[in-house]
Amino acid sequence: MHWNYPEGPDVAYSAFIKQYMTPYGKFFPYKINIKSGKLNTPRQPWMTTALLKSCKRKSKLYKKYFKNPSDLSKANFTKFRSRFKLVRKECEARYYTERFSQCTNNLSGT
């Protein structure tokens, strides 16, 4: 195909993109990610929504540190990570303590 556009490169680029995107949109349609809802549901029974939010924040701090490895970003990440570990372990221990106390006189565990 011959491209002859006396109007300039902007018009030629727009025409090219239009011709390119029409079949592209047909063969590669936009799809919504259905699995995104699974990230908001806890995997463990002791995991709360607050812990999920904290886990996401920890991941963001890690990404920030990974992209910009400075002493400040490392300190922020490690401080939050250690605090998160403590809270997570406390929540897990509290959950299992409550579950075991519910089953003290019941050998079947239900």
| pLDDT (tens digit per residue) in 77-109 | 999 999 999 999 999 999 999 988 888 777 665
13-17, 37-41, 77-81, 89-93, range with the lowest pLDDT? 37-41
Query: What is the pTM for the complete model shown?
Result: 0.57
Measured CA to CA, the distance from residue 47 to residue 51 in angstroms comes to 6
Query: What is the b/e burial string over 73-88, where b = at least 16 CB atoms within 10 angstroms of the residue's CB?
Result: bbeebeebeeebeeeb
- Segment 39-54 mean pLDDT: 83
Q: How confident is the model at residue 82, as a pLDDT?
A: 96
Question: Which DSSP category does 99 fall into?
Answer: H
Predicted confidence (pLDDT) at residue 57 exceeds the cutoff of 90: yes
